[in-house]
Amino acid sequence: MTTIIQRENKKYPKLLAQIGDAPKQLYYKGTWDATIFEHCLAVVGTRKMTTYGKRMTEQLVGEIASAGITIVSGFMYGIDAAAHKAALRAGGRTIAVMPCGIDMIHPSDQADLYKEIVDMGGLVLSEYEGNFQPLLWTYPKRNRIVAGLSQATLVVEAGEKSGSLITAHFAKKYRRKLFVVPGPLTSSVSVGIMQLIKEGAEVVGGAKDVLDFYRSNLGFSLRFIPPAGGSPTRLQKTQDPRSLSTLEEKVLEELRAEPKEVDELARLFGASAAHIGSVLSFLELSGAITNENGKYGIIS
């Protein structure tokens, strides 16, 4: 079912309404829940994603999305799709902003992802109705919505003329925070990243850098709580301390022996890297462990 929200409607995303050229209306599919817009991170990058870019997107977005931050992206191949998928795998929510009419799935071979976003409590948005075809000018128009919905934008891999740089430009124009993931200097998809760093973007060393930004700007502590299914996947507002889960205790026990990487712990416990990453993120935010060069260890 497709529904429409007019700009004058009080349910219209407040952050998006602040930009000068906010869409007059938003068509959407999914369940409109105001909380999905409270804390949003735009994640964008090249369509020609490398293995490194995919891994970094999955690791960072997995931890950030499991913290309760909504992941916003443009549904294209490469980093966009990887970001949406990582958010869903981590039990988080994601918003896909389309460059075409709301009734189109573009790219068409990502129909399963489109359905999963809607079914898992996310949203598909467009300012265009029906089967309006994507055109050259609709992509940058889409990018302004991606940036406009988000308190911050994270760029993972971007070539010299990447569309991701357009989203980054909008983020700066709207005075939003801009993060980048550093990449090899020899890679063509690091050229745009280096340009953004020179222009003042903050380099991300881990999910904690991004979560710290939201924590300091939101003014409340973040913590993981287990959903109905059992495993800890969300960070939420709280003032009360809580006891550690069984998995958190086991992770701490392993790290007391020696520092370990996310993938090593995931294999050890038979869990996904995103799930283990969310546990590590909580333990790091609580001050129990530290991350040095990708290895987590106990703070002595």
Shared domain check, 246 and 149 = no
Shared domain check, 258 and 207 = no
Residue 130 pLDDT exceeds 90: yes
Residue at 128 is within a domain: yes
Side chain identity at residue 197, one-letter code: I
pLDDT of amino acid 221:
47
Instruction: Determine how many CB atoms are found less than 10 A away from the CB of residue 63.
Output: 31
Residue at 39 is within a domain: yes
Long-range contact set of residues 102-105: C-beta below 8 Å, sequence gap at least 24: 102/2, 102/27, 102/28, 102/29, 102/126, 102/128, 102/129, 102/130, 103/2, 103/129, 103/130, 103/131, 104/131, 104/132, 104/133, 104/134
Pairing status of strand 2-6 against strand 94-97: unpaired
Shared domain check, 150 and 33 = yes
Residue at 220 is within a domain: no
Shared domain check, 188 and 129 = yes
Average pLDDT, the chain: 87
The pLDDT-based confidence of 160 (bands split at 50, 70, 90) is confident
The pLDDT-based confidence of 286 (bands split at 50, 70, 90) is low
What CATH number does residue 288 fall under? 1.10.10.10
The pLDDT-based confidence of 244 (bands split at 50, 70, 90) is low
- What is the domain range of residue 128? 2-213
Shared domain check, 37 and 170 = yes
Shared domain check, 188 and 77 = yes
Shared domain check, 139 and 279 = no
Highest mean pLDDT among 149-153, 156-160, 161-165, 270-274: 149-153
pLDDT of amino acid 242:
39
Residue at 224 is within a domain: no
Shared domain check, 284 and 158 = no
Residue at 194 is within a domain: yes
Shared domain check, 277 and 196 = no
Residue at 235 is within a domain: no
Shared domain check, 93 and 191 = yes
How many domains, the chain?
Answer: 2
Shared domain check, 261 and 167 = no
- At a CB cut-off of 8 Å and minimum separation 6, what does 225 contact? 232, 234, 235, 236, 238, 242
Q: What is the mean pLDDT of residues 50-64?
A: 92
Residue at 199 is within a domain: yes
What CATH number does residue 104 fall under? 3.40.50.450
Residue at 234 is within a domain: no
